[in-house]
Structure formats: C-alpha cells, structure tokens
C-alpha cells in the first residue's frame, strides 16, 4: 500500500539519545530543556521571532484567537471572523468552538487561497479578524490582506499549517499578520508527532500566550489569566529536534518527487498557481482534474492498485452542517470536488511514483 503521505522518521539512535537525556533529568513537560532548545532552533531556522511551541496545531489557532481578543461574545451577538472554506476543518471548527462565527468567502480559482477581493463585502460590525490559510504552503496575497486589516482595524491570523520553511520575498511567510500558526502533526513536512507553534508579531502577545498555555499559572501560588493546558512535551520536542537535524535530506527527497510529478502531469491537469515570490517547501502535490467524475475514477483506479490519494479539501466547509448555515461558495465547492492530493513523502521511490503517474495518464487517455 502506498499512502498519500508517510511520517518522516529520523535516525533512531539520535532519537534514543534525546530520550536518554529525558530519563536522566526526569523532566517530561512544563518548558523542559528540549522544548527550549527546539524553540530557539526553530526561530533561527525559520528566521522568525516570538515563536511559541504548543501541543497541536488546533490549539495554536485557539490560543492565538484568545491572545488577540478574537474569541468570545460581541455586544451585537457572536463575534465573526472571515475565513476560507477551502481548508482543513480545524481552521473553522476552532473558531466555532471558541464562540466565533466563521464567515466564509470564496477562493481564487488559480491559487486556491482566500481571495482578498471577496473580503470587504463580508465585513460587518461584528467582524474581529481575518483568518486566511496558506493552502498547501502557497502564499496568500499577504499585502492585500494586511492592508485591508489595517483599513478596517481587524486582526489577521494566518493558518500556516502547510507553510513550514516557506519563504516569500526572501523571508519567512510566517512573519505576516498579527500571528501565524503551524501544525507539527505527524503527516507534516516538519513534525513532532503531534504539536504546533504560533509566531506572534508582538512580544507582548507571546508573553501572554506563555501564561495561557499553562492554565494561566505564573508561579506556585499565582494565577494571572484564564488559561488551558496547551504545552508541548519533552518527548514531542525530542522528535522535532531529530527531524530538524535531517530537514535538508527530507526536503531534497520530497522536491525530487514533486518535480517528477510536475514534469509528467503539468500538461494534463491543473496545478496550483504559486506566487512568483514564493520559495516552496514541496509539502503537497495537489492536482485539479477536469470533472469530479474523472477525479473519483482516478482515485478508485489508484486504490485498486493499493495507492491512496485524498480529496484535500473536501467538502467545501460552507456545506458542513455543524458550522452553521452559510452561502454557497462556488469556486471552493468546484475545486473541492475535482482535486486530488497525490502521494508525496521522502521514501516514495521513482518506480513506485512512475507507476502512479502512468495509471493517471492511462485514465486520462481513456
């Protein structure tokens, strides 16, 4: 079976050395040495400041909402945040969970990121924030979104779950907005098994978030804020340190897979149009097919040959009942029906990949 992705597992002996240190220190959580080391190394590697490690990417979003004053009620009713329907459910469900109504606006048909042209008409007196997603690591139109946020006095939190090591105009894409969040789930390019991070624009927001992820506790007998348990453990950090050590090898392998797909499929399917200023991280290979029937037929044919693909992201979130009633978003709905993410991971061999490519081409020819 060829999965759509496979977690990168670093050198086991190196991982065991980190685990030995944990056993020697008897320190498993609460800002241990490895969490501190990983924080510093990630800030240096990514070229960012004010990075906070947390237990997972969903909590990263929720902590950012709380710190930036997006969560909770509005004098006129529930607060609102404008976001994209073409994303993983956690982007929107985390808002709903925190008492914020997601307001969906449609995506650009080529970049598949939130279209800034649709934002203004969705702003109401209850709007507190814009939550765009760097879909598949592609850069949103950050200049346009940040400009709108300043004009209408809105916060911007970028869901950068796919944007690890993605650069825009020579610097980390994560530097845009009031905050940007990351997922370090096992399936991601960089992972800690489970985990996540927030990159804040302002240090004072980072300092409040540090208290918030530890129940609001700031001392043995002192509680200064309403908090939650969102801390990253030493075991998670140990995995992250090992994966970071081997990041270049991982990236090189994935880029080879990505470029081979592009060489053999770019003329047959629609690929995501990436920003010309983007340095990509090869985290996904999404392909948009001509019709939903064609995409489903190819997925079924690949599965018959023990190859798994996924319709990331299906369904378009404005159609998900638990998120409330929302207006249809035609472009997002159409893209969601026709898209397939193809297998991409460091251990995918050339022969296996060419078999996938040949099956797709045969189905397209039939």
Query: pLDDT tens-digit profile of 127-159?
Result: 999 999 999 999 999 999 999 999 999 999 999
pTM of the full structure? 0.96
CB 334: neighbour CB atoms within 10 A?
16
User: Is residue 73 very low, low, confident or very high in pLDDT (cuts 50, 70, 90)?
Assistant: low
d(C-alpha 308, C-alpha 344), whole Å: 11
CB 159: neighbour CB atoms within 10 A?
29
Residue-level pLDDT at 190: 98
Dump the DSSP string for 199-261.
EESSHHHHHHHHHHTBTTEEETTEE-S---B-PPPHHHHHHHHHHHHTHHHHHHHHHHHHHHH
Handedness of CA 153, 114, 258, 39 (dihedral sign): positive
- Residues facing 171 on adjacent strands: 168
Residues 335 and 220 occupy one common structural domain:
no
Q: Which of 213, 244, 275 is the last residue of a domain?
A: 244
Residue 201 predicted with pLDDT over 70: yes
Residues 20 and 156 occupy one common structural domain:
yes
Q: CB under 8 Å, gap of 24 or more: what pairs does 346-351 form? A: 346/6, 346/8, 346/249, 346/250, 346/253, 346/254, 346/257, 347/6, 347/253, 348/2, 348/6, 348/257, 350/260
Its domain, for residue 151, covers 12-244
Task: Tell me the per-residue pLDDT of 330-362, one tens digit each, with 9 for 90 and over.
Answer: 999 999 999 999 999 999 999 999 999 999 999
Strand segments (E) across the chain = 51-54, 73-74, 77-83, 100-104, 127-131, 155-159, 167-168, 171-172, 179-183, 196-200, 217-219, 222-223, 278-279, 286-288, 339-341
Task: Tell me the per-residue pLDDT of 247-274, one tens digit each, with 9 for 90 and over.
Answer: 999 999 999 999 999 999 999 999 999 9
Residues 231 and 263 occupy one common structural domain:
no
Residue-level pLDDT at 225: 86
What SS3 state is found at 123?
coil
Phi–psi pair at 262, nearest 5 degrees: -60, -45
Does residue 5 lie in a domain region? no
d(C-alpha 291, C-alpha 315), whole Å: 15
Residues 232 and 306 occupy one common structural domain:
no
Q: Residues 165-192: what's their mean pLDDT?
A: 97
Q: Are 180 and 199 in contact (CB under 8 A)?
A: yes
Task: Tell me the per-residue pLDDT of 292-322, one tens digit each, with 9 for 90 and over.
Answer: 999 999 999 999 999 999 999 999 999 999 9
Would you state the structure tokens that stand for residue 44, as one six-digit string?
A: 């240096």
For all residues of the chain together, what is the average pLDDT?
Answer: 96
- Which residue in the block uniquely carries the two structure tokens 């080391």? 37
Check which CATH number belongs to the domain holding 261 and give it: 3.90.1150.10
What's the CA dihedral at 317, 319, 321, 327 to 10 degrees?
A: 100
User: Is residue 278 very low, low, confident or very high in pLDDT (cuts 50, 70, 90)?
Assistant: very high
Q: Which of 191, 212, 244 is the last residue of a domain?
A: 244
Residues 360 and 250 occupy one common structural domain:
yes
Number of structural domains the chain divides into? 2
Residue-level pLDDT at 366: 82
Does residue 129 lie in a domain region? yes
Q: Residues 165-194: what's their mean pLDDT?
A: 97
């Amino acid at each position: 079976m060829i999965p759509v992705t496979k977690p990168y597992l670093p050198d086991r002996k190196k991982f065991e050395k980190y685990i030995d240190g944990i056993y020697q220190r008897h320190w498993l959580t609460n800002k241990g040495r490895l969490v501190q080391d990983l924080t510093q190394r990630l800030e240096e590697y990514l070229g960012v400041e004010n990075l906070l490690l947390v237990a997972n990417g969903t909590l990263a979003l929720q902590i950012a909402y709380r710190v930036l004053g997006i969560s909770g009620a509005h004098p006129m009713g529930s607060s609102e945040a404008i976001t994209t329907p073409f994303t993983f459910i956690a982007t929107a469900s985390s808002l709903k969970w925190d008492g914020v109504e997601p307001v969906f606006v449609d995506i650009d048909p080529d970049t598949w990121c939130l279209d800034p042209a649709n934002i203004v008409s969705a702003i109401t007196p209850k709007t507190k924030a814009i939550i765009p997603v760097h879909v598949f690591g592609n850069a949103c139109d950050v200049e346009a979104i940040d400009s709108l946020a300043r004009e209408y006095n809105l916060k911007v939190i970028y869901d950068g779950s796919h944007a690890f090591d993605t650069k825009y105009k020579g610097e980390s894409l994560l530097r845009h907005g009031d905050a940007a969040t990351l997922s370090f789930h096992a399936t991601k390019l960089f992972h800690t098994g489970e985990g996540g991070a927030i990159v804040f624009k302002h240090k004072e927001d980072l300092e409040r978030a540090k208290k918030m992820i530890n129940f609001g506790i700031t001392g043995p007998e002192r509680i200064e804020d309403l908090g939650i348990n969102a801390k990253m453990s030493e075991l998670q950090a140990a995995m992250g340190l090992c994966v970071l050590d081997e990041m270049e090898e991982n990236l090189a392998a994935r880029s080879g897979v990505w470029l081979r797909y592009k060489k053999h499929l770019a003329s047959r399917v629609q690929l995501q149009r990436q920003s010309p200023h983007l340095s990509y991280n090869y985290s996904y290979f999404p392909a948009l097919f001509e019709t939903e029937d064609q995409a489903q037929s190819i997925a079924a044919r690949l599965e018959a040959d023990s190859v798994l693909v996924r319709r990331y992201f299906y369904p378009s979130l404005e159609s998900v009942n638990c998120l409330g009633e929302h207006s249809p978003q035609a472009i997002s709905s159409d893209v969601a029906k026709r898209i397939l993410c193809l297998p991409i991971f460091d251990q995918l061999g050339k022969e296996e990949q060419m078999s996938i490519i040949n099956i797709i081409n045969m189905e397209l020819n039939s």
